[in-house]
Amino acid sequence: MLVVENLHAGYGTSEVLVGTSLEVKQGTVVALIGANGAGKTTTMRAISGMLKPTKGRVLLDGKPVQGQDASRIARLGLAHAPEGRKVFGPLSVEDNLLLGAYSRLPLFFGFRSKAAHELERVYDLFPRLRERRQQAAGTLSGGEQQMLAIGRALMAKPKVMLLDEPSMGLAPVIVQEVFNTIRRLKEAGITLLLVEQFAKSALEVADYAYVMERGCIAVEGSPAELHKNERVLAAYLG
Amino acid sequence: MESIIIAQMAVSGAFMGLVYALIAYGFQLTYATSKSINFGQGELVMVSAFFSLTLITVGLPYWLVVPGGLFFGAILGLFVERAGVRLALEQKSEGWILLTIIIGLFGFSAAENIWGRDDRPFPTPISSDSIQVFGVSITPLEISVAIGVLAVMGLIELFKRKTLLGKAFEAVSADRDAAELMGVSATRTIMLSYGLSGMVAAMAGILVSPITTVGPTMASALILKAFSVAVVAGLDSGFGVVLIGLFLGALESLASFYIGSGWREAPGLILLILALAVRPNGVFGKASIRKV
């Protein structure tokens, strides 16, 4: 569903990605783990078009999308819940969710009724968001904002979802909740690329994983295989 | 009698103040989406007013002149965005400041060449015979200004709150990158904001011209005060510009009556300097928090 081939990208003259390749098959959860600064977030940004790759290809559902605007790639079916959550602070929770479905809703009238079904699904997944639907998103707690960011990405009914560091800055109990949500999304058949600091938890939910080091993939394999790899075990799962 | 005169001055001034508020609102629209404003907005008001005057002189009825003028203003706004703002923003440069000033100067010269340097009356079917309200005389023309200003601002605010496109407009103001990730094109949203801003400027021109007459120099007088209103009120409160606009309009009318007409510009400038010194985010502005 999502194929990344030999991706190069960077900021100014400093190259961060030097030939990253990975694949996310339909209906699987793939984890991307690695140390700080290895290029995990940059990989996400280069895939979703927030950063233009200098070389390499990104195939979404078989079609090359590298170099296109982020808004265009989003409309083609990729939802990126970015690092730091980036909810629209002054807007209400419900408006945030509606904007998640922006690319498939009418722009003027009737968008609310057309999104109603999807909205209910997200509210069922995160009852806390239903309680706070009229509240400004900026006033939510960190964990609630993360749920909103995930819910907003789900509203797009994406072909592939990118989830960047959902546990960042959250209390351990909330982190558990986030991972439970990811497990439920997996059961529902979502196609997900997950970047995580908590390598252990990430490998528990993932079908397949890539370990990034210095801008490219160092090791890849199923979680079971990575658990047998001594180097990975020592560096990330110790 | 004294209090009646003061009330009369304040009320007539306040109507003019609404026009400043409308132009200031045009600044807010583009600032929200792109953090840039059109420094040639005054010329946009003036050129649109001249264009509308031409529509009147070729014999178009007033109810067709208004939409025609608004459409023309929107096109001008889009032109400013394309020619003066987009490239600068793409390169993350502040070049739009100079470019929009230059486009404004160009508009000024063009107006002088096309329509001449003289101030011209702007005929309107709305009567300027005054009616008495609590001893203060008000003309239907002035009431039409108030209705026009509040209607345009109200419609745009309704659009922002009730339609998905409007919400996307707000999303781009809140977080441009995140809006792009939702499939909202920031470039198009900025175009939309400049189009709306141009339309608002044209509306201001059509509303104010019957009172002040139309001339190439009308731009500089209007823009200075609109700018004061925008800075004093803050660049993100539509409600704020209306209040500050009313206040400033009344104040300058009183100043020119009591101190002398040469001091007309003084209250605006003093308020501007005070605001910059004491509350740079504006009276109604939100303090922007920058994370470092």
Concatenated DSSP letters of B215-265? -TTHHHHHHHHHHHHHHHH-TT-HHHHHHHHHHHHHHHHHHHHHT-GGGTT
Closest partner residue to A99 (CB to CB) among B171, B177, B187 is B171
Interchain pair A71, B183: CB under 8 A: yes
Q: How far apart are CA B14 and CA A167, in angstroms?
A: 54
Q: Where do the structural domains in chain A lie, given as residue ranges?
A: 2-87+144-236
Handedness of CA B260, B265, B268, B273 (dihedral sign): negative
Helix axes B41-57, B218-233, angle to 10 degrees: 130
Phi, psi of A31 (to 5 degrees): -100, 140
Angle at alpha carbon of residue A132, lines to A131 and A133, rounded to 5°? 100
Closest partner residue to A70 (CB to CB) among B163, B164, B180 is B180
pLDDT of B292 > 60? The answer is: no
pLDDT given for residue B128 in this prediction: 78
**Least-confidence region, from A73-77, A85-89, B281-285:** B281-285
Interchain pair B182, A50: CB under 8 A: no
Neighbours of B63 (CB within 10 A): 9
ipTM: 0.91
Helix (H, G, I), strand (E, B) or coil at A92: strand
Angle at alpha carbon of residue B290, lines to B289 and B292, rounded to 5°? 145
Q: How far apart are CA B107 and CA B20, in angstroms?
A: 20
Specify which of B190-194, B239-243, B271-275 reaches the highest per-range mean pLDDT. B190-194
Interchain pair A98, B171: CB under 8 A: no
For residue A52, give how far its alpha carbon lies from the nearest alpha carbon of chain B (Å).
13
Cβ burial, residue B274 (10 Å; 0-12/13-18/19+) = exposed
Residues in chain B: 292
For residue A232, give how far its alpha carbon lies from the nearest alpha carbon of chain B (Å).
33
Amino acid at A232: V
Q: How far apart are CA A15 and CA A106, in angstroms?
A: 40
For residue A175, give how far its alpha carbon lies from the nearest alpha carbon of chain B (Å).
23
Q: How far apart are CA B57 and CA B49, in angstroms?
A: 12
Give the residue on A whose Cα is nearest the Cα of B178: A86
Size of interface A-B (CB pairs under 8 A): 84
From the list A222, A181, A220, A219, the residue with the least C-alpha distance to A203 is A222
Q: How far apart are CA A219 and CA B38, in angstroms?
A: 53
Whether the CB-CB separation of A20 and A39 falls below 8 Å is answered with yes
Quickly tell me which residue has 């990158």 as its tokens: B177
Q: Read off the pTM.
A: 0.88
CATH 3.40.50.300 fits A2-87+144-236, yes or no: yes
HSE-CB at B143 with a 13 A cutoff on CA atoms is 12
Interchain pair B180, A71: CB under 8 A: yes
Amino acid at A136: A
Tell me which residues of chain A, numbers 210 to 229, contact chain B at a CB-CB cutoff of 8 Å.
none
Closest partner residue to B182 (CB to CB) among A49, A102, A106 is A102
pLDDT given for residue A80 in this prediction: 95
Neighbours of B96 (CB within 10 A): 24
From the list A91, A103, A192, the residue with the least C-alpha distance to A145 is A91
For residue B273, give how far its alpha carbon lies from the nearest alpha carbon of chain A (Å).
29
| Region B75-93 average pLDDT | 93
Closest partner residue to A71 (CB to CB) among B164, B165, B185 is B185
pLDDT of B97 > 50? The answer is: yes
Q: How far apart are CA A175 and CA A200, in angstroms?
A: 12
Interface of B with A (CB under 8 A): 163-165, 167-168, 170-171, 174-175, 177-187
Helix (H, G, I), strand (E, B) or coil at B84: helix
pLDDT by residue (tens digit) across B164-216?
Answer: 999 999 999 999 999 999 999 999 999 999 999 999 999 999 999 998 899 99
pLDDT by residue (tens digit) across B103-120?
Answer: 999 999 999 999 989 899
Q: Where do the structural domains in chain B lie, given as residue ranges?
A: 2-220
